Amino acid sequence: MNVTIVDYQSGNISSVINSFTEIAKGKVNLEVTSDIKKIKFSDKIVLPGQGSFKSCVDSLNNIDGLVETLNEFVITNKKPLLGICVGLQMFADVGYEEAETKGLSWIPGKVSKIDNQKGKFKLPHIGWNEIEIEKKSKILKDIKDKSHMYFVHSYEFIPEDKSVISATTDYSTKIVCAVERDNLFGTQFHPEKSDKSGLKIIDNFMKL
């Protein structure tokens, strides 16, 4: 099986690479690349994302043919893709970080700044927070409700269809922290920085 971590220059993804390498352990052919051909023929894709929504979308668009290849992978071929942090946020139609920016429109919705209730809650939301599992989920299999995951973000994904939400976390309001629809999976938290629970999520995705 070929699993590809898309490297589109969206910040430091070394911890993503290390965690996936640990789980792959030679059983899975893991590639880190922006090569369109390799991405096209992968069995699964990991789309990380660090920085702002706009900078990540711009970086995707800067690689000729990458967005079209990802669309074909997800929409036409319906192969599994895991979006992490801004990688998940880009599933949306639009994001409002820095400037209004069009997303990938895979799951209808928007990415807006967390309501910090006039400074009552610090932004970015950084550190460990517990998640509440909202529905049965393939990548949250054997993850206990109220498990703690590691977060770093100031913006949240608000999907139109609430049935895609697989987990939420409480920070100022109920924030969507995991989504799942058909072959699309996303986490707002960083599984690669979330200790054993995070590695279990990565393992679940690899075993899909």
190 is catalytic: yes
At residue 104's C-alpha, the angle toward residues 161 and 197, to 5°, is: 65
Q: Which of 85, 97, 153, 180 is catalytic?
A: 85
Instruction: Tell me how far apart the alpha carbons of residues 187 and 131 are, in angstroms, rounded to a whole number.
Output: 11
125 is catalytic: no
Structure tokens at 197: 């629970």
Q: Can you list the pairs that 170-176 forms with residues at least 24 positions away whose Cβ atoms lie under 8 Å?
A: 170/129, 170/130, 170/132, 171/114, 171/121, 171/125, 171/129, 172/114, 172/115, 172/116, 172/117, 172/120, 172/121, 173/114, 173/115, 175/114, 175/125
Q: Which of 97, 153, 180, 190 is catalytic?
A: 190
Catalytic residues: 85, 190, 192
